[in-house]
Amino acid sequence: MEQKRRTRIVDLLKTSEIGQQTNVKGWVRTKRGNKHVNFIALNDGSCIHNLQIVVDVPNFDEELLKRITTGASVSIIGEICESTGSGQKVEIQAKEIEILGDCDVDKYPLQPKKHSLEFLREIAHLRFRTNTFGAIARVRHSMIFAVHEFFTKKGFLNIHTPIITASDAEGAGEMFKVTTLDLDNTPKTEEGQIDYSKDFFGKATNLTVSGQLEGELAALAMGEIYTFGPTFRAENSNTTRHLSEFWMIEPEMAFYNLDDNMDLAEEFLKYLIKYALDNCSDDLKFLSQRLQEEEKNKKADERSMELIEKLEFVLAHDFIRLTYSEAIDILKNSKPNKKGKFKYPITGFGSDLQSEHERFLVEKHFKKPVILTDYPKDIKAFYMKLNDDGNTVRAMDVLFPQIGEIIGGSQREDSLEKLTGRMKEMDIPEEEMWWYLDTRRFGSVEHSGFGLGFERMMLFVTGMGNIRDVIPFPRAPKTAEF
């Protein structure tokens, strides 16, 4: 067979070169027809749509056609034709068919029918071959690109922060240990503790839970920076919103106060959403239709807004900004609180906001994304700037419908004295953080930053319900198969 470079299906479907010969390669989704003509739906991952291959059966060997089964890979040489059927504009009239890889239908788990997401999670190595996961993979790529484009346009530098860290003081969560010690025979100190001085790095090391502290070092020299890398949390979290390994975007900006920080966060989220609408419309339409079918099984009052409509709605409206104290007042006087509908009733300042409260504010009260600021210092991290009231810190959480906290950020404490004071209160050892504190010793400036969980953004943009479906190879407790 003549080996010409193949044409991608996404390009063929846009072509006007009727009558031209072309070569396509891909995986068979379905084959149907009769003894005279067969139709192959071929997909090569370049777009959500399949290309229809028309096969005049008498022109081909019967045994060859039998091998064209769901999942088989084929190379087709044929002529681009206007389709006489109604499902597509162009199709390929096959001249030569080569089976690249057979696919035993008795063993291949993907069938030409609808599969549940739970089942596909068990065969995650093959789920790229479905419409849904193909669409998600393409949207995910577009979102990655949009992140870099947004920050590049704004003059931010991308900084690679370390994945292995020695710092365990940040307190963002349980960490995965990194070691080359023989776990069956660990060296011990005189006190009987594990002697990490004998370990690879000469000290105890972990996988990073955040690039923020290192990001601050860069920001306090480069101005505006962002990180976009893998992050690890060893929490035993079993939810639809948590992963043990996820990708986080953390911008950090010198000379930004909390208001600047909020402006940036809102602009950033809207940029990503607009990018998806502008560049992933076919995939989003497919994901939306999928969701609409699922929604049919729900009660009328539990149905959510259509996906694209929802994305456009978020673009069109300002996020609501209010302080923690204002939120507490709203919640305290809310119907569910007065009627005792909250599992955790709101009594006043200091109450921690539970998901039920966040959901009430976002989904019932404002019906828009909400940015909550100025939380009590006791429920937030040590590095957040203390307000003049001495009680609250310049924190901000961006809350999205269905997802909850999508962004957490703050203006950072730039006073060395106040920062070390907070560290003492929270029992964070100063010695280990000397390099971080140096930023406050030498030319400290007002600065701010936030962290966006990339997969949470993916949940929102794709409308998917489980975070394990928006990352190709999910890592979660008891889950590391693929």
Within 50-105, where are the H helices? 62-66
For residue 74, the cross-strand partners are: 26, 99
Q: In angstroms, give the least distance from the CB of 78 to RNA.
A: 11
Q: Does residue number 90 form part of the binding site for RNA (CB under 7 A)?
A: no
- Which is closer to RNA, CB of 146 or CB of 381? 381
Within 280-433, where are the H helices? 281-295, 307-316, 324-332, 335-338, 355-359, 416-425
Q: Report 336-375 residues binding RNA (CB under 7 A).
A: 344, 352, 354-356, 359
- Which is closer to RNA, CB of 90 or CB of 330? 90
Binding segment toward RNA, per CB under 7 A, in 65-73, 146-154, 265-273, 315-323: 65-73
Contact 144, 477 (CB under 8 A): no
Binding segment toward RNA, per CB under 7 A, in 187-195, 298-306, 312-320, 405-413: 405-413
471: left (phi over 0), alpha (psi -120 to 50) or beta: beta
Q: In angstroms, give the least distance from the CB of 30 to RNA.
A: 4
Q: Report 166-225 residues binding RNA (CB under 7 A).
A: 172-173, 210
- Which is closer to RNA, CB of 70 or CB of 227? 70
C-alpha–C-alpha distance, residues 52 and 195, integer Å: 64
Binding segment toward RNA, per CB under 7 A, in 142-150, 183-191, 198-206, 446-454: 446-454
C-alpha–C-alpha distance, residues 176 and 164, integer Å: 10
CA dist 414 to 49, 78, 442, 473, Å? Answer: 53, 67, 11, 39
- Which is closer to RNA, CB of 117 or CB of 181? 117
Q: Does residue number 297 form part of the binding site for RNA (CB under 7 A)?
A: no
C-alpha–C-alpha distance, residues 233 and 161, integer Å: 16
Q: Report 17-46 residues binding RNA (CB under 7 A).
A: 30, 32-37, 39, 41
Q: Report 236-255 residues binding RNA (CB under 7 A).
A: 236-244, 246, 248
Q: In angstroms, give the least distance from the CB of 36 to RNA.
A: 4
Helix (H) or strand (E) holding 266: helix 258-279
Q: In angstroms, give the least distance from the CB of 3 to RNA.
A: 27
- Which is closer to RNA, CB of 257 or CB of 355? 355
Helix (H) or strand (E) holding 457: helix 454-462
- Which is closer to RNA, CB of 223 or CB of 408? 408
User: With CB under 7 A, what is the number of residues at the site for RNA?
Assistant: 73
C-alpha–C-alpha distance, residues 166 and 160, integer Å: 16
Q: In angstroms, give the least distance from the CB of 358 to RNA.
A: 7
Q: Does residue number 453 form part of the binding site for RNA (CB under 7 A)?
A: yes
- Which is closer to RNA, CB of 276 or CB of 476? 476
Q: Report 304-343 residues binding RNA (CB under 7 A).
A: none
- Which is closer to RNA, CB of 275 or CB of 460? 460
Strand, helix or coil at 478? coil
Contact 10, 46 (CB under 8 A): yes
Contact 380, 405 (CB under 8 A): no
C-alpha–C-alpha distance, residues 226 and 212, integer Å: 9
Q: In angstroms, give the least distance from the CB of 108 to RNA.
A: 9
Select from 283, 374, 414, 455 the one that contacts RNA (CB under 7 A): 455
Q: Report 96-155 residues binding RNA (CB under 7 A).
A: 105-106, 109, 111-116, 118-119, 121-122
Half-sphere exposure of 131 (CA within 13 A, CB side): 22
Q: What is the DSSP string of 396-411?
A: EEEEETTTEEEEEEEE
Select from 1, 3, 16, 86 the one that contacts RNA (CB under 7 A): 86
- Phi first, then psi, for residue 231 (nearest 5°) are -140, 145
Select from 5, 66, 299, 441 the one that contacts RNA (CB under 7 A): 66
